[in-house]
Chains A and B, each alone.
Chain A
Amino acid sequence: MAQRALVAAVAAVLGVALLGGTRGHAARALSFVLDTTPNRATEAQAIAAQLGGAGINAQVRVWQLSVLIPQIQAGQRAVYTTDWGSAYFDPYDLAVPKFVTKARGNFSFYSNAAVDHDMAVASGTPNEAQRRAAYLDAQRKIYGDAPWVFGYVLRNIEAESSAVSGWVPAADNSETMYPAAVRGADTITMGMRNDAIAPLDPGLPPNDREAVLRNIFDALVGHTPDGKVVPQLATSWRRVGPAAYDFALRPGVKFQNGDPVTADDVVFTFQRVLTPGAISGYSSTRKDLLGPILRVQKLDDSHVRFVYSATFPEALVLQSLVHFQIVPQKYVQQAGEGGFIAKPVGAGPFRFVRGALNSEIVLERYDGYWGGPAKVRQVIFRMLPEPSGRIAALLSGEVHVIQEVPPDLVDRLKTNPNVQVRTAEGTRSYEIEFNTKAEPFNDPRVRQALNYAVNWDPILRDIYHGYGTRLSTAFLPNGFGYDPALKPYPYDPAKARELLRQAGY
């Protein structure tokens, strides 16, 4: 105890001496700790060095993410690097949770009634033009308020063997092997970045295993790799009231065990997600992806109705349903939750054969797939958590496609004629957030100044090897309602200094 007091006292004296020293010439210098996580430590160091050149004193502190986040949420940190991924190709899953007052992802404690109103309109109006207008307005307001140093979106970098054709990397990493073919082989093997994936149950929280799930299961609607909604088990849909939609099911579709896909299976799938404790005693955390849903009801054997508690735009209904793969009611009830997880059955293009979630999963072509059989007979997903290991497996021909190539290794892969690097625009915003409730970051001039003071171009060029795109706010170029006319804050140290001077620094 005495020791701690002594250390604190010495630190205080030193701190006063140091601050006093730097304060001498002008007003006070802006000085803060920039909190970050190991994956962005280099970037944070570079930013701190840039800010140092502009007379701003930023000290980088590196944390483990799970330790940093609770402190951010408790309002104990001031400036921090964060990121947020979107499961929708719509700001509903990125800008809404990040900027709406008190929303779950609002780590900057940002609050602007006009923005809240815009977001409510965009999430609750069926009219597409009105939605777009609301999003455009929100972007301009957020841009001016500058609750963050707005950052960038990275491309997903993947690689394939030159023997592969037809495979397309997806913006959300959940590509299907359905259109893929391998020259001279009937098996395609993919090296995944995961240590282990969660059980293959579409009711559990969505994460990296979506790539596997979407090969076994089909949903009512699906995504193209760039996010366009396409029919899967539903062939058509229409809005039938202020907050209701009817879906017509594709006739004659069978699950991989031979059972027909009926309206009962669709209702069961959603009840399983919506009923608390329905999955082995646990509640599905996926249900919040469904929006303000009330119930899903059967109209007849091939029609279902989705009823919402408030108006929910069609675009969001469809984006949400992509995440709900249909499960066979009879099979799940017979096999039990444990049996279903051990041997999942869906209506997708490949059926589960065997596998362990921490090593590899083997799927086989389902010849009865409604869209016609896939090109390859077998798909193998291998867990290869180490990037160099994934690349080695690709170069040695053991796997045909790999996820997540580190940007600094891309050039080396590009020199190999047997390998192709493929990229897709990502769906995750990387940024630096401020605690906008705390001094001095409650002053928008300080926040704007920092937006002008960070030079992102060399960071994206040298650290991310050109695989990043600046964002003007947190609206993604591949999402709905993006404003291409709104240009990111330019690097302008003079303007930054001027704004800081006005704010008293």
Chain B
Amino acid sequence: MRWLRIVHRMLLAVPVAAGVAVLAFFSLHLLPGDPVQIMLGDTNTSGATIKTLRHELHLDRPLHVQLTLFFAQLAHGDLGTSIVQHRPVAALIAEALPATIELTVATVAVAVLIAVPMGLLSALRPRSWVDRAVLSTSLLGASMPAFWFGLLLILFFAVNARLLPTSGQIDPAIAVPPVTGFLLIDGVLARSGAAVASTLRHLVLPSLTLGVVFAAVLARTVRSSMMDVLHRRYVTTARAKGLPETAVVIKHALRNALIPALTVAGLQIGELLGGNMIVETVFAWPGLGRLVVGSIFARDYLVVQAAVMLYAITYVAANLAVDVAYTVLDPRMEGA
């Protein structure tokens, strides 16, 4: 029963992605600016050459024909070729996506490691100094611009202390044969300790930058739902059974308190998987955010359309994952 529902929800992502692609297509074409003109800038190019290139890129066709062409290609599993980069869109996304996923996973790890203990501590001691400290730190974390915080971390840990690298995904002197595109996995596959260590070191600062902001939001959610749960009768029952306090808090209270936190986390993860252009730029992280924003500025229509479809699918999948996780945490949700 559960599997049927998951498949059903996944199938729903298809029309959502198509609809979003159509919307992206029209909104991009509504923007003034021509990709060929932008790409050529002030290079010495004749009108005839520009016309030829526009023709070769199908940019001289009516909009509905261009859209039909896009879907016809898509039906053959082809996302088309980037106007600016002259490379298959699928290859560009396949290059950028693993970098963004790696950063997202690391960010979630950082956020959970910070947020859950913080939220837990402050819920257990409401209105204590711990609680106040957690609340004010999380306010600071949530309102801090990631750009500024990232630069601060670079200055402190990379330039002054020289403990960590300033930017990039791996020391460029280390060659890792690409297998999956995920540097960490490829490093393990290549049995290169140096590659794995370098990748991990490069992950620290960007994931901390994104993770602190994420943790700030998450910690507040964990705190409030934990406080709510701690006053429930089943917690009292658990205590009355004579269970040790740790078991009460971890097994009975936290597990239930995590459900609202999961919803918040799911949305945040969906957003993170889109790639954060600003943080990716500061840390020269070759992720999806930079690719997409760059493509919007360049009016690289096909790249943006493909990315937007990917975003739609990611959101549907992230929401689905959250729903599945609900049922694991709370079996009553199974039929809901």
Q: Interface size on B (CB < 8 Å)?
A: 51
CA distance A67 to B297 in the complex (A): 10
- Closest Cβ of chain A to B90, distance in Å, is 13
Question: Which chain B residues border A380 with CB–CB below 8 Å?
Answer: 172-173
Query: Given the interface contacts A277-B56, A288-B45, does A398 sit within 8 Å of B166 by beta carbon?
Result: yes
The reply on B151 being an interface residue by CB < 8 A is yes
Q: Are B286 and A66 in contact (CB under 8 A)?
A: no
Q: Which of A64, A277, A289, A341 contacts B87 (CB 8 A)?
A: A341
Q: Are A70 and B37 in contact (CB under 8 A)?
A: yes
- Closest Cβ of chain B to A264, distance in Å, is 25
Q: Are B159 and A392 in contact (CB under 8 A)?
A: yes
Q: Which of A64, A83, A105, A389 contacts B284 (CB 8 A)?
A: A389
Q: Are B172 and A395 in contact (CB under 8 A)?
A: no
Question: Which chain B residues border A283 with CB–CB below 8 Å?
Answer: 49, 52-53, 56
Question: Which chain A residues border B33 with CB–CB below 8 Å?
Answer: 64, 66-67, 69-70
Q: Which of A70, A93, A198, A389 contacts B32 (CB 8 A)?
A: A70
- Closest Cβ of chain A to B245, distance in Å, is 47
Q: Are A392 and B167 in contact (CB under 8 A)?
A: yes
CA distance A196 to B280 in the complex (A): 12
Q: Are B44 and A289 in contact (CB under 8 A)?
A: yes
The reply on A206 being an interface residue by CB < 8 A is yes
Query: Given the interface contacts A87-B43, A386-B282, A386-B284, does A360 sit within 8 Å of B38 by beta carbon?
Result: no
Q: Are B95 and A358 in contact (CB under 8 A)?
A: yes
Query: Given the interface contacts A104-B46, A386-B284, does A66 sit within 8 Å of B299 by beta carbon?
Result: yes
Q: Which of B42, B52, B96, B284 contacts A84 (CB 8 A)?
A: B42
Q: Is the interface of B mostly helix, strand, loop or mixed?
A: loop
Q: Are B56 and A199 in contact (CB under 8 A)?
A: no
The reply on A78 being an interface residue by CB < 8 A is no
Q: Are A396 and B43 in contact (CB under 8 A)?
A: no
Q: Are B87 and A66 in contact (CB under 8 A)?
A: no
Q: Are A196 and B38 in contact (CB under 8 A)?
A: no
- Closest Cβ of chain A to B24, distance in Å, is 17
Q: Is the interface of A mostly helix, strand, loop or mixed?
A: mixed
The reply on B86 being an interface residue by CB < 8 A is yes
Q: Which residue of B lies closest to A359 (CB)?
A: B286
Q: Are B294 and A199 in contact (CB under 8 A)?
A: no
Q: Are A67 and B42 in contact (CB under 8 A)?
A: no
Question: Which chain A residues border B40 with CB–CB below 8 Å?
Answer: 205, 285
The reply on B209 being an interface residue by CB < 8 A is no
Q: Which residue of B lies closest to A395 (CB)?
A: B159
Q: Are A356 and B38 in contact (CB under 8 A)?
A: no
- Closest Cβ of chain B to A91, distance in Å, is 12
The reply on B168 being an interface residue by CB < 8 A is yes
Q: Which of A276, A280, A286, A397 contacts B86 (CB 8 A)?
A: A280
Q: Which residue of A lies closest to B299 (CB)?
A: A66
Q: Are A288 and B284 in contact (CB under 8 A)?
A: no
Query: Which B residues between 1 and 59 are near A, CB-CB below 8 angstroms?
Result: 31-34, 37-47, 49-50, 52-53, 56-57
- Closest Cβ of chain B to A130, distance in Å, is 22
Query: Given the interface contacts A67-B31, A84-B42, does A396 sit within 8 Å of B284 by beta carbon?
Result: no
The reply on A97 being an interface residue by CB < 8 A is yes
Q: Are A93 and B84 in contact (CB under 8 A)?
A: no
Query: Which A residues between 388 and 421 are near B, CB-CB below 8 angstroms?
Result: 388-389, 392-393, 395-398
The reply on A195 being an interface residue by CB < 8 A is yes
The reply on B301 being an interface residue by CB < 8 A is no
Quick one: which of B57, B87, B165 has the most chain A CB within 10 A? B87
Q: Are A189 and B172 in contact (CB under 8 A)?
A: yes
Q: Which residue of A lies closest to B37 (CB)?
A: A69
Q: Are B43 and A199 in contact (CB under 8 A)?
A: no
Question: Which chain B residues border A67 with CB–CB below 8 Å?
Answer: 31-33
CA distance A280 to B80 in the complex (A): 13
Q: Are B56 and A282 in contact (CB under 8 A)?
A: yes
CA distance A204 to B85 in the complex (A): 9
Q: Which residue of B lies closest to A67 (CB)?
A: B32
Question: Which chain A residues border B158 with CB–CB below 8 Å?
Answer: 392, 396
- Closest Cβ of chain A to B73, distance in Å, is 14
Q: Are A104 and B31 in contact (CB under 8 A)?
A: no
The reply on A315 being an interface residue by CB < 8 A is no
CA distance A311 to B155 in the complex (A): 57
- The interface bits of chain A over 462-505 (1 if a CB of B lies within 8 angstroms of the residue's CB, else 0) are 00000000000000000000000000000000000000000000
Quick one: which of B49, B50, B155, B162 has the most chain A CB within 10 A? B49
Q: Which of A87, A276, A279, A396 contacts B162 (CB 8 A)?
A: A396
Q: Which residue of B lies closest to A71 (CB)?
A: B32
- Closest Cβ of chain B to A284, distance in Å, is 8
Question: Which chain B residues border A398 with CB–CB below 8 Å?
Answer: 165-168
Q: Are B53 and A389 in contact (CB under 8 A)?
A: no
- The interface bits of chain B over 168-206 (1 if a CB of A lies within 8 angstroms of the residue's CB, else 0) are 110011010000000000000000000000000000000
Question: Which chain A residues border B175 with CB–CB below 8 Å?
Answer: 353-354, 362
Q: Are A362 and B32 in contact (CB under 8 A)?
A: no
Q: Which residue of B lies closest to A74 (CB)?
A: B32
Q: Are B52 and A195 in contact (CB under 8 A)?
A: no
Q: Are B85 and A198 in contact (CB under 8 A)?
A: yes
The reply on B291 being an interface residue by CB < 8 A is yes
Q: Are B172 and A285 in contact (CB under 8 A)?
A: no
Question: Which chain B residues border A83 with CB–CB below 8 Å?
Answer: 42
CA distance A159 to B301 in the complex (A): 36
Q: Are A360 and B294 in contact (CB under 8 A)?
A: no
The reply on B256 being an interface residue by CB < 8 A is no
Query: Given the interface contacts A360-B172, A362-B172, does A396 sit within 8 Å of B38 by beta carbon?
Result: no
The reply on A220 being an interface residue by CB < 8 A is no
CA distance A65 to B283 in the complex (A): 26
CA distance A203 to B283 in the complex (A): 31
The reply on B212 being an interface residue by CB < 8 A is no
CA distance A385 to B281 in the complex (A): 6
Question: Which chain A residues border B282 with CB–CB below 8 Å?
Answer: 386, 388-389
The reply on A382 being an interface residue by CB < 8 A is yes
Q: Which of B53, B96, B151 contacts A285 (CB 8 A)?
A: B53
Q: Are A285 and B43 in contact (CB under 8 A)?
A: yes
Question: Which chain B residues border A206 with CB–CB below 8 Å?
Answer: 43
The reply on B290 being an interface residue by CB < 8 A is yes
Q: Which residue of B lies closest to A279 (CB)?
A: B86
The reply on A166 being an interface residue by CB < 8 A is no
CA distance A70 to B35 in the complex (A): 11
Quick one: which of A285, A289, A354, A382 has the most chain B CB within 10 A? A285
Question: Which chain A residues border B168 with CB–CB below 8 Å?
Answer: 359-360, 382, 398
Question: Which chain A residues border B213 with CB–CB below 8 Å?
Answer: none
Shortest beta-carbon contacts, A-B, top 4: A66-B33, A359-B286, A358-B286, A360-B172
A-B contact list, 28 entries, CB within 8 Å: A66-B38, A70-B37, A85-B41, A87-B44, A97-B42, A187-B173, A195-B281, A195-B294, A196-B85, A196-B294, A205-B40, A207-B41, A280-B86, A282-B86, A283-B56, A288-B44, A358-B96, A359-B286, A380-B172, A384-B167, A384-B284, A385-B281, A386-B281, A388-B154, A392-B155, A395-B159, A396-B158, A398-B165
Question: Which residues of B are in contact with A by a Cβ distance under 8 Å?
Answer: 31-34, 37-47, 49-50, 52-53, 56-57, 84-87, 95-96, 151, 154-155, 158-159, 162, 165-169, 172-173, 175, 281-284, 286, 290-291, 294, 297, 299
- Other A-B contacts than A285-B50, A389-B166, A392-B151, 11 sampled, CB-CB below 8 A, are A64-B297, A65-B38, A104-B44, A189-B172, A206-B43, A283-B52, A285-B53, A357-B85, A359-B172, A383-B284, A392-B158
